[in-house]
């Protein structure tokens, strides 16, 4: 019989994108680090997110029928740790703003605004299917989670910076 630890060890070897899924409920931002995020459909544009059945964020998404997905970049490990912990005021430690009525973290690699299409129970989690109604992205190297550590697989993170990056760096000071 398969043990919980054997399954957990198997899945630890599978790299997953790291996101912070957010919701706004009664004017208060809520969010959690989620690595079970994926593309579902191009027509219409849909994504999936899996949340633990006991998640307070899940309750809020089911109530509001909306959620945001902040796709983290290679340098966002601290953000991932902040939103994965039990800390109450996660948003007090990370710059954010309201975008289309949802909490958006400042400077992430990507952003998706989703309307909840359906929620499907699956074991101890619920799979949320979201219709993407708005999306922004950058070419930043993604943050991934694999073998119980944050990192990136992207060659982009190891490439020399383009001349335009250096020029932009000097114009912002």
Q: Which tokens belong to 18? A: 């790291």
CA 126-131-136 angle, to 5 degrees, is: 115
- Class of 4-171 in CATH: mainly beta
Which pTM was predicted? 0.84
Q: Where are the domains of the chain?
A: 4-171
Q: Which residues contact 78 (CB under 8 A, 6 or more apart)?
A: none
User: Tens digit of pLDDT for each residue in 10-25?
Assistant: 877 777 889 999 999 9
User: Tens digit of pLDDT for each residue in 62-93?
Assistant: 999 999 999 999 999 999 999 997 777 899 98
- Among 14-28, 48-62, 124-138, the range scoring the smallest mean pLDDT is 14-28
Task: Please state, as a whole number, how many other Cβ atoms lie within 10 Å of the Cβ of residue 165.
Answer: 9
**pLDDT, mean of residues 58-65:** 97
Residue pair 51/32 in contact (Cβ under 8 Å)? The answer is yes
């Amino acid at each position: 019989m398969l043990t919980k630890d054997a399954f957990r060890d198997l899945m630890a070897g599978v790299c997953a994108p790291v996101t912070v899924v957010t919701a706004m409920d009664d004017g208060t931002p809520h969010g959690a680090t989620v690595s079970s995020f994926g593309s579902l459909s191009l027509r219409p544009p849909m994504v999936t997110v899996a949340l633990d059945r006991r998640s307070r964020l899940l309750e809020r998404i089911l109530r509001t029928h909306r959620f945001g997905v902040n796709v983290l970049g290679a340098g966002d490990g601290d953000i991932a740790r902040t939103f994965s912990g039990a800390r109450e005021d996660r948003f007090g430690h990370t710059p954010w703003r309201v975008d289309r009525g949802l909490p958006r973290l400042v400077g992430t690699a990507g952003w998706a605004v989703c309307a909840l299409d359906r929620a499907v129970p699956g074991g101890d989690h619920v799979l949320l299917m979201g219709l993407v109604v708005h999306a922004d992205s950058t070419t930043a190297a993604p943050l991934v989670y694999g073998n119980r550590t944050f990192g990136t697989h992207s060659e982009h993170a190891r490439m020399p910076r383009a001349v335009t990056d250096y020029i932009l760096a000097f114009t912002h000071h």
